[in-house]
Amino acid sequence: MTTELASSGREGIEVPAAGSAVPIESPPYWRLLSPDGSEFVPATAWLLQTYANDNSRNTIRAYGLSLLRFMRYLWAIGVPWDRAREVDVRDFVLWGRRADKFVGRRREPAPRSGVNIITGKANQTSKYSPSTINLTLTAVGEFYEFHRQRQAGPIINPVPGAGERRHPHHRPDDPYPVFRRGQLRQKEPIRDPRAIPDDKFDELFRRLGTNRDRALVAFYVSSGARATELLGLTGDRVNYGDQMIGVIRKGGQLRWLPAAPQAFVWLRLYQVERGVARRDQPVWLTSREPYRQMSYDTFRSVLNRANRVLHTNWSTHDLRHTFAIRALEGGMPLHILQNLLDHASLETTTIYARPRPEEVVAHHRATFSRSQGDDSGGIPVSYDPGELDSLFGGRES
């Protein structure tokens, strides 16, 4: 290890929530502010390029917040953005692995165990996840590569591997080399999609407090629309006769999706209370005046209220997973599901075909359980069920 990359002792420093990311009306729709409140112009130039590259507002927001996270660290250690080195990025990663999140105005995550025992999903914690650190490295690497190509900032990109070709000078007749994880990249666990079991879904649905929320959830699990697509629904894109909704997909394309009749029933009950949205008016509105279009954070808070009662951690994306797995169980072909989910690659859709934990348990029990006199070929059990019941604290026989 070189002297430059030796331990600097900066990974444990306190990093204040300096600066901010604020929404604006014109592209790139987000602006980063320095600790003194002035515009951080290098970030604006890069975000504008990101917008010109046809990235969505959500992507621009995620990249802007990731860059702000790194800049707060540089501001805390007193390093100007255009003097950052690889050691600074390395120390940021070390800091990120032990630091608490910047939560802003959001509620601090309650300390909980690693995995929710009911859903089987990892609980949100106060620490940064490996995927968040990796996203930050991606965003920061692109930020510095953008300025390096314009001869601004450091001469060498401080993020290892940023801007490099994956297989330079590769000969067509040679096999591609196997690369390990990139430098400073964190190991991300492979997570299978989690559908909400029917009984758990019924419990969640009963805990929803309004017809608006019930209609939204019913559309989520029967249309396969993304959260932002469904929340952006307007009155002219609801086809009651054919029971379809028109959503704006990535790239700005209008796509009509079928939904369950029950979803339209709940929508009608909601409309009786709040009125029918007219052309170009949002269908989903906030519950209190002044009425505004419902945001993703607002609906997430709806789910969180139900989660707190049920001691679960279901998310909006779990509803989309539920739609996909229900569709496959109903016999829908993969390529049709790919089209409904708007996946660019069929490989992305195939993750829903993996065996679910419930399926694994059911097949295991079917294989290793055998009742008396059953000739199905299962493995016979030689233990007395009464003795096992007594042994493990049950009722004595």
Higher pLDDT, 364 or 372: 364
pLDDT value at residue 163: 63
If you average pLDDT over residues 125-154, what whole number do you get? Answer: 93
d(CA 237, CA 69): 38
Q: At what angle do helices 296-310 and 198-207 cross, to 10 degrees?
A: 110
pLDDT value at residue 2: 43
Higher pLDDT, 80 or 120: 80
pLDDT value at residue 223: 95
pLDDT value at residue 397: 44
pLDDT value at residue 148: 95
Could you give all domains of the chain from N- to C-terminal order, each with its CATH number?
20-149 (no CATH), 198-353 (1.10.443.10), 364-391 (no CATH)
Contacts of 322 (CB under 8 A, 6+ apart): 195, 196, 201, 220, 221
Taking alpha carbons only, the member of 131, 129, 84, 126 closest to residue 109 is 126
d(CA 371, CA 381): 8
Termini Cα distance of the chain: 68
If you average pLDDT over residues 334-359, what whole number do you get? Answer: 88
pLDDT exceeds 70 at position 172: no
pLDDT exceeds 50 at position 3: no
If you average pLDDT over residues 349-359, what whole number do you get? Answer: 83
If you average pLDDT over residues 52-80, what whole number do you get? Answer: 94
pLDDT band per the 50, 70, 90 thresholds, residue 40: very high
pLDDT value at residue 189: 77
If you average pLDDT over residues 216-241, what whole number do you get? Answer: 94
If you average pLDDT over residues 351-361, what whole number do you get? Answer: 81
pLDDT band per the 50, 70, 90 thresholds, residue 333: very high
pLDDT exceeds 80 at position 209: yes
DSSP string, 93-126: HHHHTTSBPP-TTSPPPPP--SB-TTT-PBPP-S
d(CA 181, CA 58): 27
Neighbours of 232 (CB within 10 A): 17
**Do 265 and 328 meet the contact criterion of CB atoms below 8 Å apart?**
no
90: DSSP letter:
H
Lowest mean pLDDT among 3-17, 80-94, 338-352: 3-17
Question: Which of 199-208, 351-360, 363-372 is most confident?
Answer: 199-208
Q: Which amino acid is at 288?
A: R
pLDDT band per the 50, 70, 90 thresholds, residue 256: very high
pLDDT band per the 50, 70, 90 thresholds, residue 327: very high
* Helix segments in the chain, DSSP class H: 41-52, 57-77, 86-96, 130-149, 198-207, 211-223, 227-231, 261-274, 296-310, 316-329, 334-341, 346-349, 357-368, 385-391
pLDDT exceeds 70 at position 304: yes
pLDDT exceeds 60 at position 241: yes
**Do 232 and 219 meet the contact criterion of CB atoms below 8 Å apart?**
no
pLDDT value at residue 251: 75
d(CA 322, CA 340): 13
Residue 73, burial from CB neighbour count under 10 angstroms (0-12, 13-18, 19+): buried
